[in-house]
Amino acid sequence: MATFDLDEQEQLDALQQFWRSYGRIVVAVVLSVVVGFGGTKWWEHQVNTKAQSASATFNKLEAVQASEDVGLVSSLSEELITEYGDTYYADLARLNAAKIKADNGNYIEAIDLLRGIVSDARDSSMVSLAKLRMGALYVMTEQFDLAMTALDGDADASMSGLFADMRGDIYAAQAMNDEAFASYQEALSLLQEGNPWVDIVQIKIDSLGSR
């Protein structure tokens, strides 16, 4: 039989007393941690599974992108948006669907899709691209104030030059040539050397005439 000295017996008694008083709480805490860990693992599994399914659907979309089957492209885009709306692929599908809508003159629907990307704020580059396309669509519909508002906020660093260029387009569309010139010059200063868009911006500057 095991024997204990007085200190060991006191420690044992204290432990037993602690367990009688707080044992249920300890079990509850441990259980909650285990369940929480299991829940986290389950959630990660669900997210990974959804991402894989979304990726597979997006691959199908890419495969038919070059086809003339607009109905199928639209259907796959809609599936990504409705079934996988909380994934990166849904925003890619929104960009694609917005282009289709715009090409068919459905500018309001296209803008709504792009606004969804901005609201999600899932990826800074994607948000910046959506803002640029929204700006272009507002210019096409001559809603110049909304076009400028669409560009509000910080642009992704790689697109800051394109934002300045778009502001130039908005001003130029309103015959505000001095403001357009300044924005185009800003675009040139922001676009990286070798960027083919530099030549396009320079053409726009030249079209404004001498200052």
pLDDT above 50 for 178: yes
Instruction: Answer yes or no: is 119 within a domain.
Output: yes
Same-domain pairing of 98 and 161: no
Tell me, yes or no, whether 22 lies in a domain. Answer: no
Q: What are the Cα distances from residue 196, in Å, to 70, 121, 136, 200, 202?
A: 30, 28, 19, 7, 11
- Which of 76, 98, 130 is a domain's end point? 130
Q: Is residue 4 part of a domain?
A: no
Do both 116 and 174 map to the same domain?
no
How much is the mean pLDDT over the chain? Answer: 76
Residue 73 sits in a domain of what CATH number?
1.25.40
pLDDT of 83 higher than 90? no
Is 60 contained in some domain?
Answer: yes
**More reliable by pLDDT, 123 or 140:** 140
* Contacts (Cβ under 8 Å, ≥6 apart) of 89: 51, 54, 55, 57, 58, 80
Q: Are residues 42 and 126 in the same domain?
A: yes
Can you give the pLDDT at residue 47?
43
Q: Check whether residue 57 and residue 107 sit in a common domain.
A: yes
Establish if 24 belongs to a structural domain. Answer: no
Same domain? For 62 and 121 the reply is yes
CA–CA gap between residue 79 and residue 122 (Å, rounded): 19
Q: What is the CATH number of the domain that holds 193?
A: 1.20.58
pTM of the entire structure?
0.67
For the chain, what is the domain count?
A: 2
Residue bearing the bigger pLDDT, 55 or 188: 188
12 domain residue, yes or no: no
- pLDDT score for 174: 92
The pLDDT assigned to 5 comes to 53
Query: What tens digit of pLDDT does each residue of 150-163 get?
Result: 999 877 888 899 99
Same domain, 174 and 114: no
- Residue 115 pLDDT > 90, yes or no? yes
- Are residues 161 and 120 located together in one domain of the fold? no
| One domain for residues 113 and 172 | no
**Range with the poorest average pLDDT among 66-70, 95-99, 124-128, 196-200:** 66-70
Residues recorded for the chain: 211
In this predicted model, what pLDDT tens digit does every residue of 183-199 receive, in sequence order? 999 999 999 877 888 89
The least confident of 18-32, 128-142, 192-206 is 18-32
C-alpha angle 164-185-176 in degrees, rounded to nearest 5:
75
Verify that 120 and 68 share a domain, yes or no: yes
Handedness of CA 75, 78, 82, 88 (dihedral sign): positive
Are 95 and 63 contained in the same domain? Answer: yes
Q: Does residue 143 sit within a domain?
A: no
Q: Domain limits at 100? A: 37-130
In a domain, 7, yes or no: no
For residues 209 and 176, membership in a common domain is answered with yes
Banded pLDDT at 32 (limits 50, 70, 90): very low
pLDDT of residue 121 exceeding 60: yes
Determine the pLDDT at residue 111: 94
Q: What percent of the chain has pLDDT over 90?
A: 32
Q: Let me know whether 126 and 199 are in one domain.
A: no
